[in-house]
Amino acid sequence: MKPLGFSTDDKHMKRAGLDYWDKVKVVYHDDLVAFLDSIDLDHLYIVSKFAERDYSEVDYTIAGDHYFLFGKETTGLPEGFMRRYPEKAIRIPQDDNNIRALNLSNTAAIVIYEALRQQGFPNLARVHKYPFDKLK
């Protein structure tokens, strides 16, 4: 969603170690409204520490694409937006008394891998075949 807050030019992606960027299907949306208009809202999940439903209580095996919306680590998503879609909100349990927010990339990994786990990790290798096996 624009504005991105970071550059996606080749120089920056290579520096970040993203040499697989050409394999990623990227879709840019001008704003939140444009994004919401382009998706099936039945498969939208808004990740927020203010949500009441635990991310692991969701059935991600329902067919179709799933969309996870994350806010900024510092401010989260706009309150008005959150109030419009409270039934879409999910959270990762955390210590709200001592932790302001979980790291955004860690949060994304936790939630997305739970969805993939429930789906049986489709199109992902369960075992990596090394030319030399470090474990033998």
Annotated binding site: 47, 71, 92
- Rg of the chain (C-alpha set): 17
Binding site membership for S-adenosyl-L-methionine: which residues? 47, 71, 92
Pair 79, 117: CB distance under 8 Å? no
How many Cβ atoms sit within 10 Å of the Cβ of residue 66? 19
**Are residues 38 and 32 in contact, defined by beta-carbon separation less than 8 angstroms?**
no
